[in-house]
């Protein structure tokens, strides 16, 4: 009978993180966020576009003030910035090879994505509850 | 260990851009990356729109007027095309992940389809914007 023995440790096999130790989370989340963004970005960016090409202030506020739109906008901010951060991370890792600069750039980009998502969320909540 | 000494930087690489003819595969791939980065630069503009809406009509009008300038319209057009292109190519990537269009012929068909559909969508949106179609 043929016996094959893997060199992989039992712990390594159970963890399932692969030879680089990262697993598949980045890859999977990029796909999931892409899929969600198909309808979500069409709706949110569509309304944004209609507003900036000449829709008025009151129309835009009316649209944003509904709980439905506000929820979708906040969801969009979270998902889109996560998708952008993930994609930009891949680009940065491809082109910047100096470890220090790569790390700093990655941290700054991810921080900016988080900060902008929070800023957008706060603005949406402000429109929803008052102004 | 991982420090970049001068000898690391001057090691020769095998040529790629100098020798390969641009094809539908490589061209679409790099444009997917370029439009992705471009759209990332557009996301802060979207956030600015939200902030400006929350700030009141005076600031909003100043913001909206920026997009009525020639430069603003060019930017908007670029972002629209980048959006539709990245959107269609993204779907193409998801189809690849699901196992479809992975052969050479499928790659060409899906590639030209994505390029055509995204260009058409951009053209339709902008013709509608300028009133050429109702």
pTM of the model: 0.89
User: Per residue in A27-44, pLDDT tens?
Assistant: 999 999 999 999 999 999
| DSSP structural state of residue B20 | S
pLDDT digits (tens), chain A, 131 positions? 556 788 888 888 898 888 777 888 889 999 999 999 999 999 999 999 998 888 789 999 999 999 999 999 999 999 999 999 999 999 999 999 899 999 999 999 999 999 999 999 999 999 999 85
Phi, psi angles (nearest 5°) of residue B5: -90, 170
Pick A81's closest partner by Cβ from B33, B43, B97. Answer: B43
Q: A5 CA to chain B: closest CA distance, Å?
A: 31
- Which pLDDT value is given to residue B1? 45
User: Per residue in A109-128, pLDDT tens?
Assistant: 999 999 999 999 999 999 99
Measured between beta carbons, the chain B residues lying within 8 angstroms of A24 are none
Q: Residue A10 and residue A15: Cα distance in Å, rounded?
A: 9
Task: Note whether A64 contacts B50, CB cutoff 8 Å.
Answer: yes
ipTM: 0.88
Pick B53's closest partner by Cβ from A49, A64, A88. Answer: A64
Q: Residue B31 and residue B86: Cα distance in Å, rounded?
A: 8
Pick B54's closest partner by Cβ from A53, A116, A126. Answer: A126
Q: Terminal CA-to-CA distance of chain A, rounded, Å?
A: 77
- Which pLDDT value is given to residue A2? 56
Q: B39 CA to chain A: closest CA distance, Å?
A: 8
Phi, psi angles (nearest 5°) of residue B123: -65, -45
Measured between beta carbons, the chain B residues lying within 8 angstroms of A120 are 46-47, 50-51
Spell out where chain B has E strands: none
pLDDT digits (tens), chain B, 134 positions? 445 554 556 788 888 888 999 999 999 999 999 999 999 999 999 999 999 999 999 999 999 999 989 999 999 999 999 999 999 999 999 999 999 999 999 999 999 999 999 999 999 999 988 888 77
């Amino acid at each position: 009978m043929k016996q094959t023995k893997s060199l992989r440790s039992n712990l390594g096999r159970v963890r399932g993180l692969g030879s680089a130790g990262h697993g598949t989370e980045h890859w999977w989340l990029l796909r999931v966020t892409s899929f969600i963004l198909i309808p979500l970005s069409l709706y949110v960016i569509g309304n944004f576009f209609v507003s900036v090409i000449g829709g008025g202030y009151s129309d835009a506020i009316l649209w944003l003030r509904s709980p439905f739109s506000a929820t979708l906008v906040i969801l969009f901010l979270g998902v889109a910035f996560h998708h952008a951060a993930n994609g930009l991370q891949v680009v940065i890792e491809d082109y910047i090879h100096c470890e220090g600069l790569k790390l700093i750039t990655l941290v700054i980009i991810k921080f900016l994505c988080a900060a902008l998502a929070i800023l957008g969320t706060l603005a949406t909540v402000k429109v929803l509850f008052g102004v | 260990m991982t420090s970049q000494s001068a000898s690391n930087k001057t090691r020769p690489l095998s040529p790629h851009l100098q020798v390969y003819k641009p094809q539908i595969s490589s061209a679409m791939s790099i444009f997917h990356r370029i439009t992705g980065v471009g759209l990332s630069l557009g996301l802060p503009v979207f956030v600015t729109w939200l902030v400006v809406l929350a700030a009141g009509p005076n600031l909003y009008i100043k913001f909206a007027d920026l997009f009525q300038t020639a430069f603003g319209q060019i930017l908007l057009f670029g972002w629209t095309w980048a959006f539709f292109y990245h959107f269609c190519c993204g779907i193409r990537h998801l189809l690849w992940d699901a196992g479809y269009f992975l052969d050479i012929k499928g790659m060409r068909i899906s590639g030209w389809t994505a390029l055509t559909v995204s260009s058409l969508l951009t053209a339709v949106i902008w013709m509608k914007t300028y009133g050429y179609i109702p």
